[in-house]
Structure 1
Amino acid sequence: MRYADINELISQNPGAIAKGPIALVFAEDPVEIDTTVRHNLHLGFKSVILFMTPEFELAEDVAETVLRVDCDLTRQGNREEIVNTVIAKASGVWIYVCYNAEYLFFPFCETRTIGELLAFHTEERRDAMLCYAIDLYAGDLDTHPNAVCIDDAYIDRSGYYALGRNDPLTTYPKERQLDFFGGLRWRYEEHVPPERRKIDRIALFRAKPGLELRPDHTFNHEEYNTYACPWHHNLTAAVATFRTAKALKRNPGSAYEIETFRWHNSVPFEWHSRQLLDLGLMESGQWF
C-alpha cells in the first residue's frame, strides 16, 4: 500500500499503528532499502512503514509487504514531526525508528522475536530501550566507493567509551544517562559536527500521551533516556548502520581524505548477535 503522507495512512489505515511493535524506516537515499525492510520483517515487526521520496524503487516482494509513505526527508525536522504524529495516535504501542542501510540486533535475535524482547522489557517496567549505533563500513572502498557492502562489512572491535551527560540547568550529571562515543564518528570526528558524534539513541520505545522525539534521538520524558532502571541492568540493543560511512564518503570535505575505513581494530561483521554481545556492544540484562 502507498500513501501520500502520514496523515493519509493514519486516516485510511489506522490498524497499521494500532498493534505493535511497528517499525518506522526513513529512506534517505536508495541504498539497501530492500534489505533493511526484509531484516525488520524477519525480526517480527507487525508493520513496517517506509518513508521515502516517490522516485525511489522497491523490490516486488518488499513493495507487497511494506506500507509506503511519500515524504521529503531533506526538510529539517520532518522525521521528528512524522514520528511524533505516530506517537500521538499509537499510545501503548512499541515503535522502532531507523534509516535505510540500518539493521537492528538484540540479544538472541536469531531465535527470538522482537515481540518476545519487548514483552520481557515491558515486564521490567521499561518503556524505552537504549540502542547503540554501531558503524558498518565496506572493507574495500575502491570496489564499493559508497562504503556499503553487505558481504564485505566491517566494524570496530574497540574504541568505544561513555561520558556523563550533564544537566544544562544544574551542570550535574543526569541520573542513569550517559553519552556514548566510538566508531567512525570518533575516528573521524574532525568531519562530524559535535552534536552528531554520539552513537547512543533511543530507537525502541513505547508511545504514550505527551511523548515527543527530539532531533538528538532522545525524548522529552527523561526516564526514556536512561540506560537502565535504578535496581539492575536492563536489555540494550544495537543498530548496525552504514549511515556514517555513507555520509563520510559522500561529503566532499572527507571523501577524498579517506582511502579506507579499516584499521588495526577492524574485524569482519558476522551478522550475528553473539559477536555484538562478546564485544560488549549490547547488554542482555536479566534476559537469558
Structure 2
Amino acid sequence: MTAPSLDAFLKTNAANLPKGPVALIFAEDDVGLGSTIRHHARIGFANILLLAREGTVLPTDCHDLCHLITNDPFNDIPLNVAVTKANDAFAGRWIYYCYNAEYLHFPFCEDRSIGELITFITEERRGSAFTYVVDLYAADLDSNPNGYSLENAHLDSSGYYALTRWKDGNVMDRQLSIYGGLKWRFEEHLPWTKRRIDRVSLFQSRKGLVLDEDQLFNDEEYNTYQCPWHHSATISICSFRTAKYLKSNPGSTFDVNSFAWAKSEKFHWNSQQLMDLGLMEPGQWF
C-alpha cells in the first residue's frame, strides 16, 4: 500500500510504527533503490520510509521492508522539510535520513546493529552522530555510464580536508566543514554551497528541531562532531549520489571520462576500511 504523501502517512501511521529508529530514504531516481532498502534493513532498521515518485516499482523482496510514500523530489517536499516533519511526528525517537544509492556504515556494523550504536551514543549523552558522506563511483564508466556499480565501487583514499566552521564572525565549537572526494576533484561542476561532505544523518528527534537546506540543525550541539570531553563515534554514508549527478548533468557528463585517479581504492564494503582511511572512528566504542 502506498501513502499519498508524507503528511498523510504520519497522520495515520506515526504512532503505530514498531519501536526502534526510523529511516527516511529520499529517492531522486530508481538507481540502487532495492539495494539501499535491503542494506538499511540488514543493519537493523525495522521502520524504513521510502519517499519516491508516484509509480515507483519496488523489487518484490523489498515490499515488506519499507513503507512507500509518494513524493516527487523536485516538485513536492524537499529532504530537509521531510526530516523536520518526521522529527515533529516521532518525538524522542532516533531518525536517520539518506538518499537512494547511499549506504550507511558505522564502526563494527558487520557484527553490531544500528540499535546498539544508538544505545552507545545515548549513553554518551549525545543526540546526534556526525556523518562523513564518502563518494563512491564506478572506476569503469564504459560499463557503468551512470557511475554506479556495487561490484566495482571505488572511493578516494586521500584528498580530504576539514575547515573550521564560522557563524556571525565566531568560530563554532566542535564544528567542522569537511571536503573531499568527487566534490573536491570536480568542484568546477558544483556550486560552492554544495561541496561539503559532512552531514548529521542520525539524530534523536526533539520538539522544535529543524533541519535547514544546508543540512544543519537549529540546535548547534547537534552539528558537533564530538563530545566536549572526548572523541565520539562518527559514521559514514557511502554514496553514489555525486557520481550519478556528474554523469547525468549535461554540464559535466562530457567533461568526466573517468572518476579513477592515482588515489582511487576499491571499496570492500566493510567498516574497517573506512576507519583505516580516517573516514569514521569508533571513539570510545570498542
Shorter-chain TM band: over 0.9
Distance, in Å, in 1 between the alignment partners of 2:77 and 2:65 is 27
Structure 1 runs (4+) greater than 4 angstroms displaced: none
1:264-285 CA deviation, whole Å, 9 max, x = no partner? 0000000000100000000100
- Determine which of 187, 193, 196 is the counterpart of 1:195: 193
Distance, in Å, in 1 between the alignment partners of 2:124 and 2:209 is 20
Give unmatched runs, 5+ long, in structure 1.
none
SS in 2 for 1:121: helix
- Determine which of 218, 221, 224 is the counterpart of 1:223: 221
Would the aligned equivalents of 1:17 and 1:93 in 2 still touch at CA under 8 Å? no
2:183 corresponds to: 185
1:71 corresponds to: 71
1:20 corresponds to: 20
CA shift, 1:16, in A, is 5.1
CA shift, 1:173, in A, is 1.2
Would the aligned equivalents of 2:14 and 2:90 in 1 still touch at CA under 8 Å? no
Distance, in Å, in 2 between the alignment partners of 1:252 and 1:244 is 14
In the superposition, the TM-score normalised over structure 2's length comes to 0.97
Superposition map of 1:74-223 within 5 A: 74-75=74-75, 78-167=78-167, 169=168, 171-223=169-221
CA shift, 1:15, in A, is 3.6
CA shift, 1:87, in A, is 0.6
Q: Structure 1 residues 201, 122: CA separation in 2 closer, same or farther (over 3 Å shift)?
A: same
Q: Structure 1 residues 189, 151: CA separation in 2 closer, same or farther (over 3 Å shift)?
A: same
Would the aligned equivalents of 2:46 and 2:65 in 1 still touch at CA under 8 Å? no
1:94-136 CA deviation, whole Å, 9 max, x = no partner? 0000000000000000000000001000000000110000000
Identity %: 47
Give unmatched runs, 5+ long, in structure 2.
none
C-alpha root-mean-square deviation of aligned residues, in Å? 1.2
**Which stretch has the larger CA shift, 124-133 or 9-18?**
9-18
Would the aligned equivalents of 1:154 and 1:266 in 2 still touch at CA under 8 Å? yes
Would the aligned equivalents of 1:17 and 1:86 in 2 still touch at CA under 8 Å? no
Would the aligned equivalents of 2:51 and 2:70 in 1 still touch at CA under 8 Å? yes
1:43 corresponds to: 43
In the superposition, the TM-score normalised over structure 1's length comes to 0.97
Would the aligned equivalents of 1:130 and 1:225 in 2 still touch at CA under 8 Å? yes
1:254 corresponds to: 252
Q: Structure 1 residues 7, 59: CA separation in 2 closer, same or farther (over 3 Å shift)?
A: same
Would the aligned equivalents of 2:210 and 2:217 in 1 still touch at CA under 8 Å? yes
Would the aligned equivalents of 1:77 and 1:215 in 2 still touch at CA under 8 Å? no
Distance, in Å, in 1 between the alignment partners of 2:16 and 2:68 is 11
Distance, in Å, in 2 between the alignment partners of 1:115 and 1:192 is 35
> What is the letter of the counterpart of residue 148 of structure 1?
Y
CA shift, 1:54, in A, is 1.4
SS in 2 for 1:178: strand
Q: Structure 1 residues 59, 239: CA separation in 2 closer, same or farther (over 3 Å shift)?
A: same
